[in-house]
Amino acid sequence: MKIEKALPILDKCIGVKFGELFSDLPSDLRINKGNVGQLLLLKIGLKLDSELTDFEDGELKTNKSNSLGLPLETMFITQISRNIDTLVSKEPLEFTKSNIYRKIKRLVFLPVCKESDDIKDWFFVSMFDYDLEKEKNLKKILEKDYYEICKKLKFDIENSEDGFIHTSNGKFIQIRSKDSKPYHPIFSNEYNRYISNKNHAFYFKKNFMRYFQSNL
């Protein structure tokens, strides 16, 4: 399914309480943050699979917000373990060819208000849709973030006391640890050793969602 086909369906979900929107709400919805996005994908007729992006031409994201849609958390993008050497090599992979670019170049984002203790009262506040090929200024910011983060990862591997990567921040995106026990250290072929003691991932920072909502 392409994004344009999904937008009218997603638009009808805005403001509708989860108890009305979904026929079956998982008991662990409060714990497993990814379940909200999975419920939404199934609602619009998509299957849960291992494809890089949810749609043929882009990605669907949800994120915890207040009742006005303002972000309360950062937003997960993608794990980095499989692509670590494209980030820490002497010449990082070009941004527009990178795994993260493919994940974020076209994005539909729905803030979800979870202020109620009853998950049946949760609701999607609004919907935003962007295409980086059209949002040139945003693309420049994210591209700058990407190369600065790659540089920071490489610096930490070669200069930190433990020889590991650490939280690396740009203006709108960051890399930080994302893992659970038993942990999954990242092995780099570039350095021929482990360069972390846990898995790590790209995230959108809350600044990104605020920009998203005020400029698009």
Q: Where are the domains of the chain?
A: 3-215
Burial class (CB in 10 A: 0-12, 13-18, 19+), 158: exposed
- Measured from the Cβ of residue 86, the count of other Cβ atoms closer than 10 Å reads 18
What is the arithmetic mean of pLDDT over 50-66? 87
Q: Over 80: is that where the pLDDT of 14 sits?
A: yes
Q: Does residue 182 have a cis peptide bond before it, meaning omega lies within 30 degrees of 0?
A: yes
- End-to-end CA, the chain: 23
- Single-letter residue type at 26: P
pLDDT-wise least confident of 40-54, 87-101, 151-165? 40-54
> Which CATH number among 3.40.600.10, 2.40.110.10, 3.40.50.300, 3.40.50.2300 corresponds to the domain 3-215?
3.40.600.10
Of the candidates 186, 207, 189, 197, the one whose C-alpha atom is nearest the C-alpha of residue 79 is: 186
What share of the chain in percent tops pLDDT 90? 79
* Confidence band, pLDDT 50/70/90 cuts, at residue 212: confident
CA distances from 50 to 45, 54, 55, 69 (A): 16, 9, 12, 29
* Residue (of 23, 68, 71, 42) closest to 211 by Cα position: 71
The answer to whether residues 101 and 95 touch, using CB atoms and an 8 Å cutoff, is yes
pLDDT value for 28: 72
Please report the pLDDT score of residue 129 as a whole number: 92
Q: What is the pLDDT of residues 139-195, one digit of tens each?
A: 999 999 999 999 999 999 999 999 999 999 999 999 999 999 999 999 999 999 999
Q: How confident is the model at residue 216 (pLDDT cuts 50, 70, 90)?
A: low
